[in-house]
């Protein structure tokens, strides 16, 4: 049956497509390598200067909140497809987003603490989810269920540690950012060849 389908689609066209080498212009390959190297250097810089990295993350958070707030505010005032209640909620959410964005710009430490607590909260929710799946997923092998429960318990414990000692969360945030930049940089360089 697969042979008939391949013959109908044109076996030669499929073979040519599957065996064709992707040709990427040289300037694009060079650009990917340059961006990859910048990302790798930035990953080391994040670990060497965590204060600047946190401040950059806080700035990005505040600008994102302001942009989203303006977008919601604009949509609330201009969008006619939604009902009045929806538009009022958009306007209120937009105003709140703008206020919070400027508050984070004004008080960057508050933004850093917010990022840390968001990390801790997300880790806690993920941990409880793993515990629940491990406890109720009867179709999974027993070793997988045990792994999920243990991993979930460790995640929840880590989140409580971060809530109690935010500096650990800050360190974790910096390590995750650094590793992410490193992986992205390596991926960019490797994929350019």
CB contact at 8 A, 97 and 69:
yes
183 vs 12: CA distance, rounded Å: 38
- What does the alpha-carbon distance between residue 153 and residue 162 come to, in Å, rounded to a whole number? 14
Q: What pTM was estimated for this model as a whole?
A: 0.57
**Where exactly are the structural domains of the chain?**
24-191
Q: Taking a C-beta distance cutoff of 8 angstroms, is the pair 173, 46 a contact? A: no
Q: What is the CA radius of gyration of the chain?
A: 24
Per-residue pLDDT of the chain (193 residues; tens, 9 = 90+): 556 655 665 655 555 555 545 567 788 888 888 988 998 998 888 888 888 888 888 888 889 889 999 998 888 888 777 778 888 888 999 999 999 889 988 888 888 888 888 888 988 998 899 899 888 888 888 888 898 899 999 989 998 998 898 888 888 878 887 888 888 888 888 877 7
């Amino acid at each position: 049956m697969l042979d008939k389908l391949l013959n109908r689609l044109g076996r030669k066209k499929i073979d040519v497509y599957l065996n064709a080498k992707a040709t990427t212009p040289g300037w694009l390959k060079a650009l990917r390598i340059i961006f990859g190297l910048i990302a790798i250097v930035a990953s080391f810089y994040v670990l060497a200067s965590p204060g600047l990295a946190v401040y950059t993350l806080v700035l990005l958070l505040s600008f994102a909140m302001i942009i989203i707030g303006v977008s919601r505010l604009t949509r609330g005032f201009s969008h006619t497809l939604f009902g009045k209640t929806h538009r009022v909620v958009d306007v209120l959410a937009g105003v709140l987003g703008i206020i919070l964005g400027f508050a984070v710009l004004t008080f960057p430490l508050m933004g850093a603490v917010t990022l840390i607590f968001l990390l801790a909260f997300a880790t806690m929710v993920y941990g409880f989810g793993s515990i629940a799946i491990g406890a109720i997923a009867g179709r999974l092998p027993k070793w997988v269920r045990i792994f999920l429960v243990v991993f979930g318990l460790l995640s929840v414990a880590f989140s409580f540690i971060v809530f109690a000692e935010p500096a650990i969360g800050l360190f974790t945030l910096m390590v995750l950012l650094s590793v992410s930049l490193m992986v992205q940089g390596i991926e960019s360089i490797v994929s350019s060849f």
